[in-house]
Amino acid sequence: MSIDDAARRAEQLRREIDTHNRAYYEHDAPTVSDAAYDALFRELQALEAAHPALATPDSPTRRVGGRPLAQFETVAHAVPMLSIQTETDTGASGAENFDARVRRELELPETAPPIEYAAELKFDGLAVSLRYEHGLLARGATRGDGLNGEDVTQNLKTLHDIPLRLQGVAPPVLEVRGEVYMRRDDLARYNQRARARAEKPLVNPRNGAAGSIRQLDPAIAASRPLKFFAYGLGALEGWNLPATHRELLDALAAFGFPVCEHRTVVRGWRALADFHDRMGERRAQIPFDFDGVVYKVNSLALQNRLGFRSREPRWAVAHKYPAEEARTVVTAIDVQVGRTGALTPVAKLKPVFVGGVTVTNATLHNEDEARRKDVRIGDTVVVRRAGDVIPEIVGIVPEERPLARMRFQGRKAWLSIRRNFQSFGWRKIPAPYIGRMPRHPAFALPETCPECGSRIVREEGGAIARCAGGLVCPAQLKGALLHFASRRAMDIEGLGEKLVEQLIAGGHIKTPADLYTLNMPMLASLERMGEKSAANLLAAIEKSKATTLARLIFALGIRNVGETTAKDLAQHFGKLATLSQADAAALEKVPDVGAIVAESILDFFAEAHNREVIDRLIAAGVHWQENEGRADAPPGPFSGKTFVLTGTLPNLKRDDAKALIENAGGKVSGSVSRKTDYLVAGEEAGSKLDKARELGIAILDEAGLLRQLKGD
């Protein structure tokens, strides 16, 4: 066969194979037998092997996959892959809330006609971006952190739903966003074959899709039954956008992309809520998983007008469905200590499959919540994956609670058991419970921290109980060390997260005071350290010994004591000893120190472990100038004024702007309130700007701040 004849035959085979692929993968209607298809495919492979110049980027043979990769390369998204705000109200009012926000942002009067929306399914898979250059697939990437993703082009080319070449006239650059997913029936067939081969089955469609695309060997992705839906655009060059989102999806379908048929265009929130309900009723019949619907303003011109807030579009929202629920039994209740000292009761469960995963633990949030739900060991409970992520216990099944015969009788016992059941809304106690009591007692937090034995404290009116041993508690140690060494605290350069983890794991550090006992041989022996890095760290530790009282107070990590409050405390008391011995009345004389902050300070210094750490710091040579502060300093132009910073300023960094304000006598707060005097707003200012406008607070840009500073 001549090269010209081979080229014509190869092109004919590619067209024929593509036609059969669309019939099989997109319409589930095979047009030839498997044997006939395989014969065509092998013929094309042979022609391309004999004449390598005939192999085109969009050839069906390219879907087989390339060589395994050592790792994925990181690629930057030309247009960020932003997330969509989730509407947590799963009822009809969720749609009403979104519509109200859109109308408010567009400043529409109540008499204005309903807004036109596009509504579609929220797929439960892996978001990807496909970049086409002059009609050919050039690159495929995962979402990653929204700004940067992983190059998974080889794996995405194995999906027959994704065109290697666009149909029709393609623009120079077209970046298509969509979802890789797996049908439930395809997953079941794949798992059946996997078990027959003694291979590990896939857990659920979502994990199957995400795990397949992130395989370094594209042959694995090619073996998985993956599919794709297109739903939006990224970067674009040389193409005139249609006027609406619906027309955009139609255009993507014309280019050869599969677009989900379950979509509609409606007017007003009631029609959105109706679509949400109808799709919810059909979840079991639709062959792939989706956990909600997405509402988008249909007009692209209105989308541009609405713009974005933070990293979310104002013109779209994900309206989810209630999470899946299942029943299981509580086998134990443990108490976990978080990195901030918060104590969280966690129910240990008999394994149960819910929301696509096997759940063995569920949070009870806090003691009040555990007592309110009255969850006890042995109870049968209803478990839900809140937001399809964090398992939680919805409630118990009272009639299945394990019982024991009452060991005593009398009015007190009878009232106790009656209150127990009335708390669940039962007016009459079931017969099996008469003369019986729950076998296990109600949950209660321990009196001391299970990690370090320190006291457990709880702010008045607060729901969270915390360990008071902030500087010595192993559960809090990593966070305490990183905070202690941070730039605004003791400023120990070079003490990063990985190094802290090594020091803790090796038993070299149990409190921040142990930092000042580190030595060269030990540090140099750590992974990725060496003598030079060790010497630099030791020099930074030595330098940190000379500090200020405000920095030291902040470094101690006292709950509710931030950088500004630490400065106020240092200025007011002047000496650490005076501060540590102050009572609540003395503490509350400090500006902006109320009962809660005062209680946190008292709890910290009441813990003997914390006082011992401070003594060890002083013994190690940590020192500062007593009586520091600006008590005698002349008032600055911002004296007595409270500022809030929001957004990105054109020239000043947030820390620089804060320092300018504080050096001029002002105070910088983290939240807007009626006590705020000025809001300094930069680009992408969010809800703080909205609240400041509502309260009538003066708003400055960077130039206005500098003019105020000069007194202009």
**pLDDT tens column, 147-167:** 888 999 989 999 989 999 999
pLDDT of residue 632: 42
Domain identity same for 300 and 360: no
Q: Tell whether 26 is covered by a domain.
A: yes
Domain that holds residue 428: 403-438
Which stretches of 535-641 are assigned E, i.e. beta strand? 546-547, 623-624
Statement: residue 63 has pLDDT above 70? no
* Nearest Cα residue to 541 out of 490, 496, 599: 490
The string of pLDDT tens digits covering residues 202-231 is: 877 888 888 889 888 888 888 899 999 999
Per-chain mean pLDDT for the chain: 85
User: Tell me, what's the pLDDT at 633?
Assistant: 45
> Measuring CA to CA, how many Å separate 469 from each of 92, 562, 619, 620?
46, 18, 20, 21
pLDDT in tens, 476-527: 888 889 999 998 899 999 998 889 989 988 899 999 999 999 999 999 988 8
- What tens digit of pLDDT does each residue of 3-51 get? 888 888 888 888 888 887 777 655 556 777 767 777 887 888 888 888 8
What average pLDDT does the segment 665-675 reach? 83
Of 602, 629, 656, the position where a domain reaches its end is 629
Longest pairwise C-alpha distance within the chain: 104
CATH number at residue 659: 3.40.50.10190
**Both 377 and 502 in a single domain?**
no
Q: What is the spatial distance between Cα 366 and Cα 344, in angstroms, rounded to a whole number?
A: 5
- At residue 16, the 3 state secondary structure works out as helix
Residues with catalytic roles: 122
For residue 236, the model assigns a pLDDT of 94
Whether 102 and 315 have beta carbons less than 8 Å apart is answered as: yes
Whether residue 340 lies inside any domain: the answer is: yes
CA 154 from chain centre, in angstroms, equals 28
**Domain CATH for 544:** 1.10.150.20
User: Same structural domain for residues 248 and 341?
Assistant: no
Query: Token match 């070079």: residue?
Result: 494
Facing residues of 547 across strands?
Answer: 624
Q: Range with the lowest mean pLDDT among 131-145, 277-291, 555-569, 663-677?
A: 663-677
Residues 56 and 166 occupy one common structural domain? no
What number is the average pLDDT over the span 634-660?
Answer: 82
Q: How many domains does the chain have?
A: 6
Give the pLDDT band (50/70/90) at residue 426.
low
Burial of 67 (0-12, 13-18, 19+ CB in 10 A): exposed
Q: Are the beta carbons of 213 and 221 closer than 8 angstroms?
A: yes
Distance CA 481, CA 513 (A): 10
pLDDT score recorded for residue 631: 42
Same-domain pairing of 180 and 303? yes
- Position 271 scores a pLDDT of 96
Tell me which DSSP letter residue 22 carries: I
Domain boundary among 607, 629, 651: 629
Is the domain of 615 the same as that of 651? no
C-alpha–C-alpha distance, residues 92 and 103, integer Å: 17
Nearest to 607 by CA among 555, 558, 665: 558
Share of residues in the chain with pLDDT > 70 (%): 89
H or E element in which residue 357 lies: strand 357-363
Helix count and strand count (H, E) for the chain: 25, 28
Output the pLDDT for position 416.
Answer: 63
- What's the confidence (pLDDT) of residue 393? 87
Separation between Cα atoms, residue 700 and residue 707, nearest integer Å: 10
Least confident of 161-165, 262-266, 353-357, 534-538: 353-357
Would you give the DSSP letter of residue 24?
I
User: Of 23-27, 54-58, 265-269, where does mean pLDDT reach its minimum?
Assistant: 23-27
Residue 176 has pLDDT above 70, yes or no: yes
CATH number of the domain bearing residue 265 = 3.30.470.30
Same-domain check for residues 476 and 521 = yes
278 and 425: one domain?
no
348-380 residue pLDDT tens: 999 988 766 788 999 888 888 888 888 999 999
Instruction: Indicate yes or no: pTM above 0.85.
Output: no
Q: Provide the pLDDT for residue 586.
A: 92
